[in-house]
Amino acid sequence: TLGAAPQTILEKIELADGIVEFVVHSPLIAKSAKAGQFVRVLPWAKGELIPLTLADWDEKAGTIDLVVQAMGTSTIAINKMQVGEAFTGIGGPLGQPSALHRYEGNQTVVFTAGGVGLPPVYPIMREHLRLGNHVTLISGFRNAGLLFWTKEDERVGKLQAEFGKQLDVIYTSNDGTFGEKGFVTGPLERLLNEAKAGKGRKIAEVITIGPPLMMRAVSDLTRPYGVKTVASLNSIMVDATGMCGACMVPVTIDGKMVRKHACVDGPEIDAHLIDWDKFLPRFNQFKTQEQISKVKHGF
Ligand code: FES
C-alpha cells in the first residue's frame, strides 16, 4: 500500500517537547489495522523509512494516528511537517497483531510503558479492556514536562472514565515531578510481590514497550516470578519483509539461538527468550545522540 493514498497530515498535536501526534489520512490502513501493528513511513522521496507503531486509527474517518519523537535527523524533520503536507508513503499495517487472551477471575494484564511507549501500548490496552480483562498501566515519563495523554480529556483519562475499576493507572517519573518517583520497575516489583503473597491480583502477563534498557529491566524483573512477559520492539528496520536482517532479535529456544525478525515475527517477542546481551548493542549500531543519552540516563 506504499504510496496508495494521499497520506496527508490532517491534524498535528504537539504533545510535549519533541513529541508530536499526527492524524494522517490513510483509509486502507485504518480499515485493516489491528492493535500491536505498525506502519513504515517514507516521509519524503529518498528519505529514510521509519517504523512507527499505530497509536490509534479511525476506520470511519479513514485516519491513523502516529506519535513521533524527535530523535534523529529524520524524526526531527518529520516533526516540522505541517497540516496539509503529505508523507510520500505509508506502508502497512505490518507485523503480527497483539495476541489477546481473556483472563478470568482476579487477574490483571500489566502494561509498562516508557515515554513514547505509551502510544503503542494504548490500542493494545484498549483491546484487553474491551475483552473484559482487568488492566494495570504503569506509565513512566522522564519528568512532568514530557507528559501527554494523562489528563481527563485525553486518551488514558478517557479510558479511565469509560472502564472505571477495570483499569488501574500508576504514573512514574524519573525525577518525581509526576506520580511516583523512579522507574516503572518500582511499582511493577510491588505488584509482583503482592501477587506472590496472594494479596493483589494475579498477574496474567506483562507487556512492555519503551526504551530497550527499560524493557530489559522489566524482563529481568519478571523472570524469577515466572510471569509471562512480552516486549514490543520498535527495532531499526530497513525492508520490513524479514529479508535484510536489520531488525534481527536473537532469542534462545530450547538452548538454541534462533534469529527472529521484529518486522515479521514481531513486533511482540517473548521477552524472557530474548538474548538481551546480544540484542541491546544492536540498538547502538546506528547511534544517535538521543539513544546515547537514553543509555546514560538508564531509561
Ligand atoms: Fe529487514 Fe526486518 S526490517 S528483516
Would you tell me how many other CB atoms lie within 10 Å of the CB of residue 176?
A: 12
> Under a CB-based contact definition with an 8 Å cutoff, are residues 122 and 56 in contact?
yes
Atom of ligand 1 nearest to the CA of 246: 1
**CB of 33 closer than 6 angstroms to any ligand 1 atom:** no
pLDDT value, residue 98 = 93
- The whole-chain average pLDDT of the chain stands at 88
Statement to judge: residues 122 and 242 lie in one domain: yes
pLDDT value, residue 296 = 43
**CB of 237 closer than 6 angstroms to any ligand 1 atom:** yes
**CB of 246 closer than 6 angstroms to any ligand 1 atom:** yes
Exposed / middle / buried, residue 129 (Cβ in 10 Å: 0-12, 13-18, 19+): middle
Statement to judge: residues 46 and 114 lie in one domain: no
Statement to judge: residues 133 and 68 lie in one domain: no
**DSSP output for 196-252:** HTTSS-EEEEEEEES-HHHHHHHHHHHGGGT--EEEE-----SSSSSSS-TTEEEEE
Atom of ligand 1 nearest to the CA of 242: 4
The ipTM, to two decimals, is 0.97
Statement to judge: residues 75 and 127 lie in one domain: no
Report the run of H or E that residue 261 belongs to, with start and end.
Answer: strand 256-261
> Under a CB-based contact definition with an 8 Å cutoff, are residues 53 and 119 in contact?
yes
Statement to judge: residues 49 and 119 lie in one domain: no
Statement to judge: residues 163 and 219 lie in one domain: yes
Statement to judge: residues 146 and 290 lie in one domain: yes
Atom of ligand 1 nearest to the CA of 240: 3
For the ranges 121-130, 200-209, 243-252, 288-297, which has the lowest average pLDDT?
A: 288-297
**CB of 247 closer than 6 angstroms to any ligand 1 atom:** yes
In this structure, is residue 31 part of a structural domain? Answer: yes
Statement to judge: residues 253 and 148 lie in one domain: yes
**CATH code assigned at 25:** 2.40.30.10
In this structure, is residue 142 part of a structural domain? Answer: yes
Give the tens place of pLDDT for each residue, 134-165. Answer: 999 999 999 988 899 988 889 999 999 999 99
Residues whose CB is less than 8 angstroms from the CB of residue 59 and which lie 6 or more positions away in sequence, other chains included: 30, 31
**CB of 245 closer than 6 angstroms to any ligand 1 atom:** yes
% of residues, the chain, pLDDT over 70: 92
DSSP 8-class letter at 287:
-
**CB of 4 closer than 6 angstroms to any ligand 1 atom:** no
- Closest-CA residue, ligand 1 atom 1, reads 244
pTM (2 decimals)? 0.89
Residue 236 has pLDDT above 80, yes or no: no
Total count of domains within the chain: 2
Q: Is 64 helix (H, G, I), strand (E, B) or coil?
A: strand
Exposed / middle / buried, residue 43 (Cβ in 10 Å: 0-12, 13-18, 19+): buried
Domain enclosing residue 42, as ranges: 9-94
In this structure, is residue 241 part of a structural domain? Answer: yes
Give the tens place of pLDDT for each residue, 65-74. Answer: 999 998 888 8
Rounded to the nearest angstrom, the distance between the alpha carbon of 262 and the centre of ligand 1 is: 7
- Closest-CA residue, ligand 1 atom 4, reads 242
Statement to judge: residues 127 and 54 lie in one domain: no
In this structure, is residue 3 part of a structural domain? Answer: no
Statement to judge: residues 68 and 137 lie in one domain: no
